[in-house]
């Protein structure tokens, strides 16, 4: 039997919602709504040094103003540290992960971890996942299927940081499973995280969601739009115009006479076509 569709938008609170992240939010929202599934918001606030005060609340408020309602209360990764710790402990106990005391300086000339701590039993430190699978295939609902030589290209990767914080890869995998996410829709900047996450799911015995990565939004010079851009077009737009622009950038063509946000969403849910998303998303280019 088919599992009910559950999607999510998982912003890190490191700035305001910008046009680039809005595209991931809109695409994940429309996928969920078109599948008559549920859509959830998860704030990925496990990196206090990078967090910007007020950003989480601002993002949640903006999503609401833009007409995207989550089906459950917003969740916060900072509340789940005990669960992440449990996962990392089980991986250490089963020997699938190991403690690593290498400093950045020691690893400076090694693009892939050289395995120095694989046999050590030191304490104070980061934890790495032991990568034992040489090859992994990633199937994407929109991008080409990719083969990763996991051991050669990625190597043993960090799942718990030396500053005693859970690593992004671990937290995402644990939460996607706990929230019963069936499809992850996000930007292509995270495409190379997917093989790590699939491998981690395998090690933890967790179900694997489908993945759909949307192209990154760039400005007219081909530069990725970032949260630090002050000239983000989103700043000047009312909700209706912002959603219309997001839809257009995503290759959907809402009729120009729709002048009401609810009606625009109704149209978008009924007409959403993933395959219309262009391979290039740029602020100066509307297909």
φ and ψ of 129, to 5 deg: -85, 135
Q: Is the dihedral of CA 90, 92, 94, 96 positive or negative?
A: positive
CB of 263 to ligand GLU, least distance (A): 29
How many Cα atoms are found within 13 Å in the side-chain-facing hemisphere of 271? 15
User: With binding defined as CB under 6 A, does residue 44 bind ligand GLU?
Assistant: yes
Query: Based on CB atoms, which residue is closest to ligand GLU, 12 or 252?
Result: 12
For the segment 12-41, give every residue that binds ligand GLU (CB under 6 A). Answer: 12
Question: Please, which contacts does 108-114 make with residues 24 or more away whose CB atoms are closer than 8 Å?
Answer: 112/152, 112/153, 112/154, 112/155, 113/155, 113/156, 113/157, 114/155
CB of 42 to ligand GLU, least distance (A): 8
**Range 23-54 burial, b when 16+ CB lie within 10 A, else e:** bbbbbbbbbbbbbebbbbbbbbbbbeeebeee
For the segment 115-144, give every residue that binds ligand GLU (CB under 6 A). Answer: none
User: With binding defined as CB under 6 A, does residue 186 bind ligand GLU?
Assistant: yes
Q: Among 107, 142, 190, 240, which residue interacts with ligand GLU (rule: CB under 6 A)?
A: 190
Rounded Cα distance between 130 and 183, Å, is 26
User: What is the x/- site pattern for ligand GLU, positions 156-185, by CB under 6 A?
Assistant: ----------------x-------------
Query: Based on CB atoms, which residue is closest to ligand GLU, 192 or 202?
Result: 192
CB of 283 to ligand GLU, least distance (A): 19
- Which positions touch ligand GLU (CB under 6 A)? 10-12, 44, 172, 186, 190
């Amino acid at each position: 039997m088919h599992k009910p569709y559950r999607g999510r938008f998982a912003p890190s609170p490191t700035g305001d919602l910008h046009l680039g992240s809005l595209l991931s939010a809109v695409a994940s929202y429309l996928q969920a709504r078109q599948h008559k599934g549920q859509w959830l918001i998860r704030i990925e606030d496990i990196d206090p040094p990078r967090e910007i005060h007020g950003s989480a609340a601002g993002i949640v408020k903006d999503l609401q103003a833009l007409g995207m309602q989550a089906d459950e209360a917003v969740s916060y990764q900072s509340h789940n540290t005990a669960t992440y710790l449990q996962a990392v402990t089980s991986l250490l106990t089963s020997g699938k992960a190991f403690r690593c005391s290498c400093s950045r300086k020691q690893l400076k000339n090694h693009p892939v971890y050289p395995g120095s701590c694989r046999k050590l039993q030191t304490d104070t430190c980061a934890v790495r996942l032991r990568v034992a699978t040489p090859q992994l295939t990633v199937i994407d609902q929109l991008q080409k299927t990719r083969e990763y030589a996991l051991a050669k290209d990625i190597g043993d990767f960090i799942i718990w940081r030396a500053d005693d914080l859970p690593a992004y890869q671990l937290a995402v995998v644990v939460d996607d499973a706990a929230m019963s996410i069936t499809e992850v829709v996000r930007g292509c900047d995270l495409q190379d995280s997917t093989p790590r996450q699939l491998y981690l799911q395998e090690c933890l015995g967790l179900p694997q969601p489908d993945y759909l990565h949307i192209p990154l939004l760039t400005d007219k010079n081909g530069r990725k739009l970032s949260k630090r851009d002050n000239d983000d077009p989103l700043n000047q737009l009312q909700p209706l115009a912002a959603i219309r622009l997001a839809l257009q950038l995503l290759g959907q063509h809402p009729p120009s006479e729709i002048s009401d946000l609810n009606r625009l969403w109704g149209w978008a849910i009924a007409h959403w076509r993933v395959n219309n998303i262009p391979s290039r998303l740029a602020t100066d280019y509307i297909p």
